[in-house]
Amino acid sequence: MKRIISALVHDRPGVLNRISSMFRRRGFNIASLAVGHSEKTGFSRMTIVVDNIEDSQIDQITTQLDNVVEVVEAFDITDQPNVVRETALIKVSATPSTRGQIVEILDLFNGIEVANVSTDWIIIEITGTTDQIESMLTLLEPHGIIELMRTGLIALTSN
């Protein structure tokens, strides 16, 4: 199963290494990891998505994270009211003849921008839930996806 963990950590060299090292040596699989400045100077917020883990391992992950001196707090927020988003940049093949069909697909979604365009491709920027991004990719697949970059989930609790 998949879980979303939110952590507030000191913004110092080596912190990411400490955290990823703990996940690796305890055998927890990181599906995605996003990190950036938080509202507090000197602290970063991380959203870590883990998959293929058992229920019994969730507490292990958060308590082991808490044991890292530079982790201020770490919670499993999967089952809490939350806002979860991901951004993807998709470079998709688009010739003048197929471009119209692709734009039709884009109209089906919210949070879309055409970030760049050339004679034979379009770079699409989509921000949404994982499901929205997955269905966008399914629809674009037949046109040929040249490159894909996803940020991984970012999340905040909404309570």
Partner 1 sequence: MELAGGELICESLIQEGVDLVFGHPGGAILPLYDHLTKYPQIKHVLTRHEQGAAHAADGYARATGKVGVCIATSGPGAINLVVGLATAYMDSTPMVAITGQVTRGAIGKDAFQECDITGITLPVTKHNYLVTKASDLPMVIKEAFHIAKTGRPGPVLIDVPRDVLQELSNFEEYPQTIDLPGYKPHVKPELSQVKKAVDLINKSKNPIILAGRGVQISGAEKELLEIAEKAQIPVISTLLGLGSFPGSHYLSLGLMGMHGSAFANIAADESDLIINIGARFDDRIVGKVEDFATNAKFIHITIDPSNINQNLEADVPIVGDAKSTLEMMSAMVIKTTRTKWLARMEELRTKHPLHIPESDSILPQYIIRELWNETKGEARIVTGVGQHQMWAAQLYPTNVERGFITSGGLGTMGYEVPAAMGMQMGRPKDLVWSIAGDGGFQMTMQELATIRDEKLPVKFAIMNNSYLGMVRQWQELFYDNRYSQIDIAGPNWVKLADAYDIKGIRVEKKSDVRSAIQEANDHDGPVLIDFVVEQEGNVYPMIPAGQSVQEMVEDPEMHTKSSAVLK
Give the residue, chosen from 11, 66, 76, 125, that forms a contact with partner 1 under the rule CB under 8 A.
Answer: 66
Pick between residue 66 and residue 125 the one whose CB is nearest to partner 1: 66
Kindly state the smallest distance separating residue 84's Cβ from partner 1, in Å.
25
Q: Give the pair of three-digit tokens for residue 62.
A: 């958060």
Rounded to whole angstroms, the Cα distance separating 143 from 80 reads 38
String of DSSP letters for 73-133: EEEE-TTSSEEEEEEEEEEEE--TTTHHHHHHHHTTSSSEEEEEE-SSEEEEEEEE-HHHH
Give the residue, chosen from 38, 60, 98, 127, that forms a contact with partner 1 under the rule CB under 8 A.
Answer: 60
The answer to whether 18 contacts partner 1 (rule: CB under 8 A) is yes
The answer to whether 32 contacts partner 1 (rule: CB under 8 A) is no
Pick between residue 70 and residue 125 the one whose CB is nearest to partner 1: 70
Q: Give the pair of three-digit tokens for residue 143.
A: 């046109």
The answer to whether 69 contacts partner 1 (rule: CB under 8 A) is yes
Query: Among candidates 50, 62, 82, which has minimal Cα distance to 159?
Result: 82
Asked whether the beta carbons of 126 and 109 are under 8 A apart, the reply is yes
Location of structure tokens 């951004």: 87
Kindly state the smallest distance separating residue 39's Cβ from partner 1, in Å.
14
Give the residue, chosen from 4, 5, 6, 9, that forms a contact with partner 1 under the rule CB under 8 A.
Answer: 9
Q: Summarize as ranges the residues that interact with partner 1 (CB under 8 A).
A: 9-10, 13-14, 17-18, 21, 25, 56, 59-60, 63-64, 66-73
